[in-house]
Chains A and B, each alone.
Chain A
Amino acid sequence: MSSRLRHASWGKIGLVAIVVLYIVWSLAPVAIAFLFSFNAGYSRSTWQGFSMQWWTGSKSVFNLPIYTDAIRHSLLLAVLAVIITVPLGVSLSIFLSRWRGITARPASFLATVPLVVPELVLALALFFLVTKVNLPVVTLGTSGQVVGQVTFILPLVIVITIGRLSSIPTGYEEAAQDLGASPPQSFRLVLVPLLQPAILASAIVAFAVSIDDFVITQYMSSTSSTQSVPMLIYTATRGGATPALNAMATIMAVTTIVIAAVGFALYRLLARREQITDVPAPAPALAVSREGAL
Chain B
Amino acid sequence: MAGGHIQITDLSRSYGDVLAVNHIDLEMVPGEFFSMLGPSGCGKTTTLRMIAGFEDPDSGQILLDGVDIRHTPPHKRPVNTVFQAYMIFPHLDVYENVAFGLRRQRVGKDELRRRVGAALELVQLEALAKRKPSQLSGGQQQRVALARALVLEPAVLLLDEPLGALDAKLRHQLQDELKTLQQTVGITFVYVTHDQEEALTMSDRIAVMSHGAVEQIGTPREVYDEPTTEFVADFLGISNLLSAQAVSGVPGECLLRVGEFLLTARGGETAARGQVKCVVRPERVNLEPAGATGHNRVPGTVERLVYLGSATRAIVRLDTGQTLQSLIPSDGQPVAFEEGIAVQLELPADALRVVKGGGGAAAPQAEHVLGDQLEGAADA
Bin chain B's interface residue count: 35 or more
Query: Quick one: which of B57-81 are within 8 Å of A by CB?
Result: 73-76, 80-81
Query: Quick one: which of A173-190 are within 8 Å of B by CB?
Result: 174-183, 185-186, 189-190
Query: Quick one: which of B237-284 are within 8 Å of A by CB?
Result: none
Q: How far is the CB of A73 from chain B (nearest CB, A)?
A: 37
Report B-chain residues with C-beta under 8 Å of the C-beta of A174. 52, 54, 74, 81, 83, 87
Among candidates B45, B75, B80, B160, residue contacting A181 with C-beta atoms closer than 8 Å: B75
Q: How far is the CB of A282 from chain B (nearest CB, A)?
A: 7
A265 at interface, CB cutoff 8 A = no
CA–CA, A244 to B86, complex, Å? Answer: 59
Interchain CB contact under 8 A, B90 and A293:
no
Query: Quick one: which of A267-292 are within 8 Å of B by CB?
Result: 273-276, 278-284, 287-292
Interchain CB contact under 8 A, B49 and A284:
yes
Q: How far is the CB of B375 from chain A (nearest CB, A)?
A: 49
Among candidates B46, B134, B160, residue contacting A274 with C-beta atoms closer than 8 Å: B134
Interchain CB contact under 8 A, A288 and B45:
yes
Q: How far is the CB of A59 from chain B (nearest CB, A)?
A: 52
- A interface, by DSSP: helix, strand, loop or mixed? helix
CA–CA, A282 to B45, complex, Å? Answer: 13
B173 at interface, CB cutoff 8 A = no
List the count of A-B residue pairs having beta carbons below 8 Å apart: 128
Interface size on A, residues (CB 8 A): 39
Interchain CB contact under 8 A, A172 and B55:
no
Assuming the A-B contacts A172-B89, A275-B134, A282-B84, are A293 and B18 also in contact, with contact meaning beta carbons closer than 8 angstroms in the complex? Answer: yes
**Can you name 19 extra interface pairs (CB under 8 A) apart from A175-B87, A175-B89, A294-B41?**
A174-B52, A177-B74, A177-B75, A179-B149, A180-B105, A180-B152, A181-B104, A182-B73, A189-B100, A279-B86, A281-B161, A282-B85, A284-B84, A284-B160, A288-B45, A291-B40, A291-B41, A292-B15, A293-B18
Q: What is B's interface to A at a CB cutoff of 8 Å? A: 15-16, 18, 20, 40-43, 45-46, 49, 52-55, 73-76, 80-81, 83-87, 89-91, 100-101, 104-105, 132-134, 138, 141, 148-149, 152, 160-161, 164-165
Q: What is A's interface to B at a CB cutoff of 8 Å? A: 169, 171-172, 174-183, 185-186, 189-190, 193-194, 196, 273-276, 278-284, 287-294
